[in-house]
Amino acid sequence: MALPLSSSIFPSSSTPSLPFTKTPSKLFPFTFSPQNINFLTRRALPSLKATLAVDSPPAANAGGGGTGRVLLEVKDLRAVVAESRQEILRGVNLTINEGEVHAIMGKNGSGKSTFSKVLVGHPDYEVTEGTVVFKGENLLELKPEERSHAGLFMSFQTPVEIPGVSNMDFLLMAANAKRKKHGQPELSPLEFFGYLSPKLQAVNMDSKFLNRNVNEGFSGGEKKRNEILQLAVLEAELAILDEIDSGLDVDALQDVAKAVNMLLTPHNSILMITHYQRLLDYIKPNYVHIMEDGNIIKTGDSSLAKLLEKEGYKGFSEQ
């Protein structure tokens, strides 16, 4: 079963077919009311601890203390728009190690979002030159769903709604598709709820959101938190967050950033795409890259973003 990298899938005219019908699958024979949550917590979850212990992620920390193993290595990457053949990426080079947080900043049209979409295999773009190695494997040879199963996740700027599919059903099917790919037994609905509960708390989402259809009627902040919940469930090793701060007020941004920070361990990494310094005040990057005209023209630490905010992009333009 092909599953998207996140609920956003590919929001364009070339969106692949969804693996769901318009009718909810009703995998869960109950709603997630406070009474049911209380029952499951008191009576059901304790018996699941031994079953789920093997699947528990490492304890989160502040990041930056990784093993140093190369997670992603991009060399001389060039890519064009598949239909028009317009070149967008012009020789991008980037290396991300485990436990690192990277941020790419740049003006509109600089190639930031295109770069992230190329990494996850968006069909609107075609790689013409260069290599991308993820965990020692040629990423460009993998289909989008295979990249997801390998540990790559992308949160899009504008998550789409999926009518008729509840959050709980979507998350369960996504998690079990990945487990099946890795030869692990699928979780039953009740086992999955035990796995999901602490992650739901980590992203500060009310259990009532599990009954609602994916992103349907959600506010901007709720959609972004829902994306981070998907990231938590899939336990991706490299999360690409494309303008996750877009449209969020300060409170919502703090909630989302807190959830992201809790998920960061020495063994996974984050690549953020953003226009603004304010996101970097909450999710501290190890490296900041400035992109212009389809290439990374400057790399530094977090102080680079502050300098950019003060002086603007003109001071960093390629000579």
Assigned CATH class of 60-309? alpha beta
| 256 pLDDT tier (thresholds 50, 70, 90) | confident
* Chain-centroid distance, C-alpha 243: 11
Among residues 110, 126, 92, 177, the alpha carbon closest in space to that of 14 is found at 126
Which residue reads 């979507």 in tokens?
170
276-280 LR contacts (CB < 8 Å, sep 24+):
276/245, 277/305, 277/306, 277/308, 277/309, 278/245, 278/253, 279/103, 279/244, 279/245, 279/253, 280/103, 280/305
pLDDT at 247: 79
pLDDT at 184: 93
Q: Are 267 and 237 in contact (CB under 8 A)?
A: yes
What is the average pLDDT across 224-238? 91
For 22-57, the pLDDT digits (tens) are 334 455 555 555 455 554 545 545 544 444 443 433
pLDDT of 1 over the 70 cut: no
Q: Are 89 and 75 in contact (CB under 8 A)?
A: no
Q: Are 170 and 162 in contact (CB under 8 A)?
A: yes
In the sheet where 87-97 sits, what is the strand order? 87-97, 70-81, 125-134, 137-138
Tell me the β-bridge partners of 288. 103, 300
For 168-212, the pLDDT digits (tens) are 999 999 999 999 989 999 999 889 988 998 888 887 788 888 889
| 147 pLDDT tier (thresholds 50, 70, 90) | very high
For 107-124, the pLDDT digits (tens) are 999 999 999 999 999 999
What pTM, to 2 d.p., does this model score? Answer: 0.79
Cβ-Cβ contacts under 8 Å for 204 (sequence gap 6 or more): 225, 255, 258, 259
Among residues 113, 138, 135, the alpha carbon closest in space to that of 125 is found at 113
Return the domain boundaries, the chain: 60-309
Tell me the β-bridge partners of 131. 75
